[in-house]
Amino acid sequence: MAGTLTPYTTGTVTSADGTTIGYRRLGEGPGLLLVTGGYLTAEHYMELAQALAESFTVYAHDRRGRGLSGPPGEGYRMSAECEDLDAVLAETGARLVFGHSSGGLIALQAALSSPNIDKIAVYEPALSMYGAYDLSWIPRFEREMGRGELAEAMVTFLKGVRADRWTDRLPRRLLVFELNRYFRRQRRAAGPGEESIPGLIPLQRFDVQIFHEMASSDGFADLRAELLLMHGDRTPPPVHEAMDALQATVPHAERVVLRGVAHEAPVNGRGAPGRVAAHVREFFDPMGR
């Protein structure tokens, strides 16, 4: 893609509680909002955004606490994330939404009440409400985050949600050692004005908060927007089980399995953003306009 990148502009909106939400705008065509997962920012999804910008006007927004946006706020809950989406959708006129991981969960929840969403595509949304995940690890995760033990907390999270086969099998001590070494490299690699990955990791605490909050929700049987479900065949069983449960309650949903990839497929350099974009493009605009 070098030399052919679509330039982007930036903009901001004000959410219902007064928080500033920033976004990147690129491409031309129907408006599409891209909702990021985990502690990641819009920057980490620019390969996907660039691929989608060939057919859509993409609005890649920074969720609370990230990039161009304001802090999570004292009363942070899923409702705040949904209000942020509503604000961006109302400002931009976008009616298509793509979400990854916790961003997919937010997109689904927002669509239950928003009249501004016609179609949703999600890649492995963080579905905590179908009993596929053991949540007993959350108190330990919170304690480790509270002590600033970022690597330890992330290992607790990764093992708790069975993020991939690698973290499932390796011992905690080795994973903590490798993550700390990775964090040191990332701190050194961050350029002027850039926030390093370790600087963003504490935001995972907020994603775990909404993951836990949504565990007691009723799910998405009332969803009326058209829905595309995507997941990789290298993702461990809990993701597939949760996706099965979601599809059973939203029978009109389409489903696509990407071969040879796992949870990070939409992220820059981590999987297959171009392949994800191709499925999203076909679902949102099947005539290829």
Count Cβ atoms below 10 Å from residue 12 Cβ, excluding itself: 16
Q: Tell me what pLDDT residue 37 has.
A: 96
Contacts of 147 (CB under 8 A, 6+ apart): none
**Distance between CA 142 and CA 146 in Å, rounded?**
6
Specify the pTM. 0.94
- Tens of pLDDT, residue by residue over 116-126, are 999 999 999 99
Beta pairing class for 31-35 and 57-61: parallel
- Tens of pLDDT, residue by residue over 51-85, are 999 999 999 999 999 999 999 998 899 999 999 99
Q: Tell me what pLDDT residue 196 has.
A: 85
Q: Tell me what pLDDT residue 286 has.
A: 63
- Which regions of the chain are under pLDDT 50? 1-3
Q: What is the DSSP letter of 225?
A: S
CATH class of 10-130+218-284: alpha beta
Any alpha helices (H) in the chain, and if so which ranges?
A: 46-52, 78-92, 102-113, 138-146, 150-160, 165-169, 172-189, 197-200, 204-213, 237-249, 273-284
Q: Tell me what pLDDT residue 75 has.
A: 84
Domain ranges in the chain are 10-130+218-284, 138-206
Q: Tell me what pLDDT residue 257 has.
A: 96
